[in-house]
Amino acid sequence: MSTSSSTTGSGTTDGLPFYGHVIAGQEVPSIDGATMASVDPFTRRPWATVALGGQKEADLAVAAAREAFDSGPWPRMGFEKRQAVLHRLADLMEEHADELALADTHDMGKPVTQAHHDVARSVWNFRFFADHARLATGDVYPMDSGHHAYTRYDAAGVVVAISPWNFPLMMSTWKVAPALAWGNTVVLKPAEDTPVSATVLARLAVEAGLPPGVLNVVHGYGPDSVGSALTSHPDVDRITFTGESGTGRVISAAAARNLVPVSLELGGKGANIVFDDADVDNAVHWAVEAIFRNAGQVCLAGSRLYVQRGIYDEFMTRYKAAAEALVVGDPKDPATQFSAALASQEHFTKVKSFFSPESLGGGTVVTGGLLGGEDGEGWGVSPTIIADTAPDARVVKEEIFGPVVVATVFDTEDEVVGLANDTPYGLNAMVFTENLSRAHRVSGRLKAGTVWVNCFFIRDLRAPFGGVGDSGVGREGGTFSREFFTEPKAVVMQITR
Ligand code: NAD
C-alpha cells in the first residue's frame, strides 16, 4: 500500500480503518499480514486494525533509516531546509489536528480537549526544535598555545524512539522532532495500545516532503517483538525511551551490549507540597490537575499530596469538592474534563489492585473509587483521594498511574522534605507557598528533575527534562536534546606557526 496524502485509514475486511507501518516512505502491512486491534477503552471495542510487526519489520525499518542517513539527503541538506520541511509538517499536523486528537482519544481514552492540547504541544515540538537547531551556536575555545578549538554538533545517525501510551503523539514527537532537526533518521515504535497517531504522523511527514526512510514507524509489542528487535539492533546509534522504570532497565542493558547511548524518561511518584501560607485556590486547582488530568496516567502526576497542618482540613474540604465537581463523561465529548475509563483492561487491573486493604495500608477513601457497569465505566476509576495511610503503604510507595492521590498531613519543612524525598523516583515535585525564601530553599532540597512552584505541567522546551534515580537517565530539551542526538566533535586548528 502506498502512502496517500489523505490520512484516512484504508478499510479492512473487518470494516475498521487500517494503519500500517511506514517504512522507507511507504505505508505497508506486515510481511506475514499479522495485525492487532486497537481497542477504544471507553467502548471497550476495537476501533482500528493495525499492522503487527516483528523482527523482520524492525530490520527493514532500521535498514531504511540507515540508508537514508548514510546516503540520503536529510543529514546533508542543512538546517535551513530541514527547518522548512519540519515547519511544513507542523502545518499539516495543525490541519489534521482533529484526526490526530481523535486517534489518541480512541486509542487510550483521554478527553478530546486534552488530546487537542497534546496535538498543539506536538506541533510546538517540531516548530521549537526546527528553530532551535537552526539557531543554535557552537562553542569556541581560544587557546594560548596558538591554536583555536571549536565544537561541531554532527548528527548521531539512526535513532530508535520508543514511546509510551499515556501521551502517544506528544511523547513520540518530543523524541522525533529534535532527532530530525539535528539531521538524524528515526525509527519510531509507539506503544502497542496507542499506535494510530504515529502512522498518521508518518503519513503527514511523507506529505510534508521528508525523504524516504527519514521517519519510519513500526508497530508491535516490546519484549520478543519489535521493541526488543530495535533496542538490540547493531545498526542503531541512539535509543530514546519513555516508559516504565523496569522496561528502562531492560532497554538500558540491551543498549549497553552495543555500547549505544540511551536516554531514559521513566516513572514517577511526584510529591505535591502545600504549605500553610499557600494560595489555597491556586493550590487546589493545580492539585486537581496534577492527579486527575489524563486520569492520573501521567509520569509527572502529583500522586503524593502533603498539606501542612494549619490548612489541612480547609484544603481537603475544598479539594474533595473540586474533585467531585469534575465533569465525567465520554472522552469524545468536548465538555468532558475527566474520562473514567483507563487506557486498557490490563492497566485497569493494575490500578484496581491498589484498592485492596493491604495496598491502602489502613487509608480511607475520601472520595472516588472503582466504577463498574455502564459503557465507559467498565475499566473506570473515578477521581480518588485517599487519606490517613501508613507511610510505607503500597499506594504511597508505588507508581499507580491512575487518578488516585494519597494525602498526608505534615508539620515542618524538614519533615516534608524528608517525606517527599523518601522514594526511589525523582521526576518532579510541586511546592505551593507564598514565602519566596522557602520556595527557593525547598526547591533546592527536593530530589527531582523538575520542581514547579505554585504551578504544574508548565514547560519551556529549552529547559532540561528528565528524572533522578528510578525516574530516568539523562535530560532532553533544548541543548540537552542536542547533546543526546548529536556527536559533539572538537576541531582543533593551529593558527600560528
Ligand atoms: P512501558 O514501559 O510498558 O512501555 C513503553 C514502551 O516500551 C512501549 O512502546 C512498549 O511496547 C515498549 N517496550 C516494553 N518492553 C520493551 C522491551 N523489552 N524492549 C523494547 N521496548 C519495550 O510503559 P507504558 O506502560 O507504555 O507507559 C507508562 C510508563 O511510562 C509509566 O511508568 C510512566 O511514568 C512512564 N512515563 C514517563 C515519562 C517521562 O517523561 N519520564 C513520560 C510518560 C510516561
Distance between CA atoms of 383 and 399, rounded to whole angstroms? 16
Q: What is the pLDDT of residue 12?
A: 62
Query: Mean pLDDT over all residues of the chain?
Result: 95
d(C-alpha 59, C-alpha 155), whole Å = 21
Q: Which residues pair with 385 in a beta bridge?
A: 367, 405
DSSP 286-345: HHHHHHHGGGG--TT---EEEEEHHHHHHHHHHHHHHHHHS-B--TTSTT-SB--B-S-H
Catalytic residue among 192, 265, 398, 476: 265
d(CA 24, CA 1): 12
- Alpha carbon nearest to ligand 1 atom 26, residue: 164
Q: Which residue out of 27, 99, 299, 399 is catalytically annotated? A: 299
- Atom number, ligand 1, closest to the C-alpha of residue 471: 41
β-bridge pairing 45-51 and 35-40: antiparallel
Q: In what order do the strands lie in the sheet with 158-162?
A: 26-28, 21-23, 215-217, 185-189, 158-162, 238-242, 262-265, 472-473
Beta carbons of 228 and 189 less than 8 angstroms apart: no
Biggest CA-to-CA distance, the chain: 83
Taking CA atoms only, the protein residue closest to ligand 1 atom 28 is: 243
Distance 34 CA to ligand 1 centre (A): 23
pLDDT under 70 in the chain at which residues?
1-13, 372-377
- Give every CB contact of residue 465 below 8 A, 6+ residues apart in sequence: 265, 449, 450, 459, 475, 476, 477, 480
Question: Shortest CA distance to 22 belongs to which of 249, 208, 247?
Answer: 208
* Ligand 1 center to 190 CA (angstroms): 9
Ligand 1 neighbour 195 (Cβ under 6 A): no
Ligand 1 near 242 CB (within 6 A): yes
**CA neighbor of 82 nearest in space, from 186, 236, 162:** 186
Any ligand 1 atom below 6 A from CB of 128: no
Q: Is 299 a catalytic residue?
A: yes
- Pocket perturbation via mutation, ligand 1, pick of 236, 239, 242, 262 by most ligand atoms within 8 A of CB: 242
Pocket of ligand 1, candidates 107, 166, 471: which has the most ligand atoms within 8 Å of its Cβ, to mutate?
Answer: 166
Which grid coordinates belong to 147?
591554536
The answer to whether the CB of 267 is under 6 A from ligand 1 is: yes
- Ligand 1 atom, smallest distance to 299 CA: 34
Q: What is the pLDDT of residue 5?
A: 35
pTM of the model: 0.95
Determine the distance separating the centroid of ligand 1 and the alpha carbon of 13, expressed in angstroms. Answer: 31
* Residue 247 Cα to ligand 1 middle (Å): 6
Select from 404, 380, 392, 198 the least CA-distant residue to 292: 404
**Any ligand 1 atom below 6 A from CB of 236:** no
- How many A from CA of 383 to the centre of ligand 1? 23
CA 392/CA 432 separation, integer angstroms: 24
Residue having the nearest C-alpha atom to atom 42 of ligand 1: 299
455 noted as active-site residue? no
Give the model's pLDDT for residue 371. Answer: 87
Atom 35 of ligand 1, nearest CA residue: 243
For 211-233, write each residue's pLDDT tens digit: 999 999 999 999 999 999 999 99
CB of 426 within 6 A of ligand 1: the answer is no
d(CA 389, CA 364): 7
State residue 378's pLDDT score: 80
